[in-house]
Structure 1
């Protein structure tokens, strides 16, 4: 079967992380592993359109990359040492190579954004140019950032291993946070290429496969799936933001919702609540409502009370205050919001504006919408907030 470049690219993206991880295990050299896999991809681009796809493309990439790596280390001063290591590692079965690589990319000594960038490059197989586009910078700048991050891994002797049982809870949180940051970055860039939401979900599925007993892994995957299910309805055909209350729920992806629900139920049976599991449960309650007015806000508030106990962050407190307003009225919600110190956070002012509008305080609401719009990034959110502020002023 012949293969065009797009097909080869999809295969490479799916298999690159596995291949880099396998070579990292064999040789213990991240740059060598990455370069060898890139060489294998270049060979595939030349050969596969004429020769056709091999029976196992992933194995072909790994084998070809290993041969390229061996050729390189034979010319290296450390060649004998690396080849001896490769001979030992090749004889062993290491089922969690990708897990080791993910924990290396997401080591806590690296900055959160650096963790995400390196994960996208090495584990997801995105090109440097694609990672650069995801973070709205140039390819040259991103290349320098990736090199600095890899140098830091080498200089700090960051180990290439899966943490032990005593380390795992703390280290796993960094990995999950990096994957979720990947997702939220993509969610805020509708129609972007590459689609980071799809990459994050793929990472979540990989983690679920590699760590099937970790409830927070299942919770993160459920949260991303349930959020992704609503993505098509988040903007209208003109690209303008549509709030949850106004979304056409017929556009929601029911298959993703069902999968997310199954994962949430699995987490509930485990009874080991964590941040991502509770957030997924909240998303599941929203997904249960056929129309916005059917939303069970009492249950959502109870879940936010649980979430703030396990993740007491200002953003969680803000979302809890919104739930309080939905259950107990706008005045109570506004009171809860005004206890928070979030003056520089545009969703805080947007939430205040909505509650002020419900109370008929149109001047205050319009001012809050203008403040929110001035703080929001250039996005559909800013456009929406600007329109809402103008609408409030018109009907005053």
Structure 2
């Protein structure tokens, strides 16, 4: 049987897709470096990808696709800088100087990075985007979009805000970065702890968002876990970095195969879980411990996952331990997701009514948050309020992007609403 021939257009599309997945954040950062203009960087890079899909099938894929894309986008930037419209808002000399500077300091900063300091370029760019001059409430969404490649709609779902509001927030942030000339430079080691909380949030967000599409998200979840472990090893003695590594590793130990049926945690067979990852995650969690120091958010979340994973050994879930850990978690980090999970655990361990009371006390953003409706459906079903439970499950299914989870929630709605 002879070799399989790949259509030139298909080959070009495959290479462009790989470049977008692996190099998008780095290319945007390089293009944004001279003027801090993320919008312009994204626009010109998008035009470069469009041109690639037009010219590569005809002329062949270049030896260095990322370099080709960068050069085309740079040239487009220079054309815009020289345009009459741009000259009205910025001097031509400054624009040309900025373009020339692109190939000097910033490229050296990112390309010649000491691998012993930040061995992963995506991680380096996360620290770049956690600059203290960028508004704190937009740093994580910005990293999720610019470096990790999620669109505004997916990020909005994670933060339980309207997609249009998140899109506007990101656009405003990029313009402020441009106007304030925030430098796109990798921070020194001494500045990393200050930026670490937002980097960890972005890595955690990447992992959580990847499970909204378990088919394509599996590789993203693996990348997020890699970034978490790399960050912990890089900084050495940061408890929350090791805690995030533990959290994502323990959660990965229970991850179902992509494309398989969705099963809630309590319906999963512990015999199918990865014992090696459980042991690795537990080792990371032990390393995160500091005598006399109160645990942080990720340490508590990792401890929660460790309790769940311990069912593989003990054969039962320690609900009292989960209640204690979730109560501590919502006391120090009352996120919407944490409060929903806390209510669900109280509903299991104490009473469905107590859990439902906690759910109903959540802010209005809960209505856009899929886990809220799923947890509410479960608690209402336990209380015998079948019609309300069916409506909650139906709403949860409508907010789900994972087909398997949507099918599961649909079945739960039918069961709750049936005779």
Q: What is the correspondence of 1:209-358 to structure 2 with a 5 Å cutoff?
A: 210-232=234-256, 236-237=260-261, 241-269=262-290, 271=293, 273-290=295-312, 293-313=315-335, 315-326=337-348, 329-331=349-351, 334-340=353-359, 341-342=361-362, 345=366, 347-348=371-372, 350-351=374-375, 354=378
2:395 to 345, 350, 375: 375
Unaligned 5+ residue runs, structure 2?
Answer: 1-10, 83-91, 158-165
Partner of 2:135: 109
Task: Count matched residues.
Answer: 371
TM-score (norm 2): 0.64
> RMSD across aligned C-alpha pairs, in angstroms?
5.1
1:175 to 191, 199, 205: 199
| Contact 1:373–1:383 (Cα < 8 Å) also in 2 | no
Question: CA separation in 2, counterparts of 1:9 and 1:90?
Answer: 23
1:189 to 206, 209, 213: 213
Ranked by relative contact order (alpha carbons within 8 Å, sequence separation 6 or more), the top structure is: 2
Partner of 1:14: 22
Q: Judging changes above 3 Å, is the alpha-carbon distance between structure 1 residues 52 and 211 closer, same or farther for their aligned structure 2 residues?
A: farther
Question: CA separation in 1, counterparts of 2:282 and 2:316?
Answer: 18
Partner of 1:79: 96
Unaligned 5+ residue runs, structure 1?
Answer: none
| Contact 1:106–1:175 (Cα < 8 Å) also in 2 | yes
Deviations along 1:83-134, one digit per CA (max 9) or x if unpaired, are: 467545667765457556324545652764x854x5356434x5xxx84896
Question: CA separation in 2, counterparts of 1:350 and 1:70?
Answer: 50
CA drift of 1:286 comes to 1.0
Q: Judging changes above 3 Å, is the alpha-carbon distance between structure 1 residues 288 and 26 closer, same or farther for their aligned structure 2 residues?
A: farther
CA drift of 1:275 comes to 0.9
SS state at 1:232 partner:
coil
| Contact 1:41–1:61 (Cα < 8 Å) also in 2 | no
CA drift of 1:285 comes to 1.8
Partner of 1:151: 175
| Contact 1:23–1:66 (Cα < 8 Å) also in 2 | no
CA drift of 1:236 comes to 4.8
SS state at 1:338 partner:
helix
Q: Judging changes above 3 Å, is the alpha-carbon distance between structure 1 residues 89 and 172 closer, same or farther for their aligned structure 2 residues?
A: closer
Q: Judging changes above 3 Å, is the alpha-carbon distance between structure 1 residues 220 and 38 closer, same or farther for their aligned structure 2 residues?
A: farther
Q: Judging changes above 3 Å, is the alpha-carbon distance between structure 1 residues 375 and 170 closer, same or farther for their aligned structure 2 residues?
A: farther
Deviates more, 1:377-386 or 1:282-291: 377-386
